[in-house]
Structures are given as C-alpha cells and as structure tokens.
Amino acid sequence: MKPVAFDYERPQDIAGALALAGRADVAVKFLAGGQSLGPMLNLRLAQPDLLVDLTGIAELKQVGETTDALEIGACITHADIEDGRVPDVTNGALAAVAHGIAYRAVRNRGTIGGSLAHADPAADWVTFLAAIGAGVVIRGSGGRRVVPVEEFMTGVFETVLAPNDLVTAIRIPRFSADARWGYYKACRKTGEFAYASAAVLHDPTRSVNRAVIGAVEARPIVLADAGELFGRRTGADIAASFVPQVAMRAMDTAGFKNPIEQKVHAVALRRAVEQACAR
C-alpha cells in the first residue's frame, strides 16, 4: 500500500494551480486535506504523475461575506468551521455539521472543497449543503462559474468538474433569524460514514422549504419544495404533520426500492424535521 512515484508542486496562487492542472503531458491531481486522496494514492486507485497541493494558496483559505451569503474558501477545514473560525450565517448549522464529520484528526485536515470534489454520497457536506441550497464556485479553463451543490454532484464519486477545474469556494446562503434546520445521520459507529442521512431547511421568511435524503448510492435526493413533506404546514410543529410516504416516494422515484432502505431514510428525515422543530 504505497503510492506510485509522483511529482509534487505547491503553487502559491490559483493561477499557478490552474496552469499546472492544464498541463497536457501529465496526469494531475489536486491535493487538499488528503483525507480521501491519501488512501486512494496508497491503494493505487489514483496514480497521478503530479500532485498539486492546494494548501499553499491563501485565497482558498479566505472567507467573504455579503448581505445574503457567505463564501468559504475551498481549503477551509472542517475543524475551522467546527471551531467557529468562519462567521455563522446558518444559525449554527455549519459548525454542528462539521463537528459530526469523522474524527477530529480527520477534521483537522479535511476540507470543505475536497469533500465536495470527492463526492462520496455518504459524506456530510454533500447532503447538508444540497439541503440549504449552497453553491460551488469553480474556476477552470472556461473561467469562473457557480454551480448549485445539488447539480454539482452527478453520481457516486462523480461531479461536473472538468479535469482541470478547481473548486475555489462554497457559497452559503444566509439563513433568516427564524429559519429552522435539522440534520440527522445514522452511523454504525462514531466517526463512521453514514448509512442513512437527511437534512431539512425550513426558512419561511425566505420562502425556502428544502429537504434532502443522503447516503444513498447516488447523488443526494433533493426535495426542493418540501412542503408536501409536512402537509404544507409551516412553523414550529411541522414534525407533527410529517408524511413519511413522501420521502419513500422520492426514494422510489430515484430508483431506491428496497423497503428497508426506504424506511431508514424516512426515519432519518423525520428525525431531521423533529430536530428542526426542537430548535
């Protein structure tokens, strides 16, 4: 379990990283926290000629705020978010989700951008950021674009990223003061990837009502209008009118027909909604 021989560069700016990634003569991989890529290198599932380490690029560790959103640099770590080194625009949601990722050692290095780019369906950011309508800021040969998280991931370990596209930041919408959110995941043990997860954002002031079923063998299942899930009710008691069949139907439509899998994801979603009500 040792990687193949590869070259290593640590550029200081985005342009440098993109120039290296644009090289046609070699297979290039970006390296962020290395928490997913490291094992893949060791197992020789990834065999790049050149690793481009992104962690020397100051811009990827910056945070920018506007009235309606927060932009988090791609190389911000889970621990940065957990510890509150990033302003809170989500009524505590991001810090709470970050806190639940893996173990502290992984959170110290793993990054929000790397997590999305890796596109493991069982990962936390993939599910939660899709639920809150976050966007992925991408820079590449085609310039700069912003893709909604729910469209960013196209399948298991698959994204819209072209080989030399770089995720530079994640755009997080600012929640209203009375927004309610919930995130529930079922893991066999502490720090393990989830086998069922769900997230919900109920933000009536902004007319946002979204839910996501995650940890399925595909991109997250997004209910962009989740009203039906709580019988079109709003407010603090939406859990009381939770309709599990809506979740099961969504799974069915997405091709997940196993009744036990449907049930456990519906349970996850119900608990996410209950959490949202309890907040």
Ligand X SMILES: Cc1cc2nc3c(=O)[nH]c(=O)nc-3n(C[C@H](O)[C@H](O)[C@H](O)COP(=O)(O)OP(=O)(O)OC[C@H]3O[C@@H](n4cnc5c(N)ncnc54)[C@H](O)[C@@H]3O)c2cc1C
Q: Which does 30 bind (CB under 5 to 8 A by kind): other proteins, ligand X, none?
A: ligand X
Alpha carbon distances (Å) from 112 to 19, 132, 181, 269: 23, 15, 19, 23
Check binding of 109 to other proteins (CB under 8 A): no
Q: Which is nearer to other proteins, 223 or 268 (CB)?
A: 268
Decide whether 106 or 243 has the Cβ nearer to ligand X: 106
Q: Report the residue from 24, 25, 67, 190 that binds other proteins according to the rule CB under 8 A.
A: 190
CB 273 within 8 A of CB 229: yes
196 binds other proteins (CB under 8 A): yes
Q: Within 244-263, which residues bind other proteins (CB under 8 A)?
A: 259-260, 263
Tokens of 50: 């050149």
Does 35 bind ligand X (CB under 6 A)? Our answer is yes
How many residues form the binding site for ligand X (CB under 6 A)? 31
Measured CA to CA, the distance from residue 125 to residue 103 in angstroms comes to: 15
Which residues in 130-159 are b (16+ Cβ under 10 Å) and which e?
A: bbbbbbbbbbbeeeeeebebbebbeeeeeb
Asked if 223 interacts with other proteins (CB under 8 A), we say no
Identify residues 44-63 at the interface with other proteins (CB under 8 A). Answer: 44
Helix (H, G, I), strand (E, B) or coil at 135: strand
Shortest distance in whole angstroms from residue 114 CB to other proteins = 16
User: Is the Cβ–Cβ distance between 179 and 202 less than 8 Å?
Assistant: yes
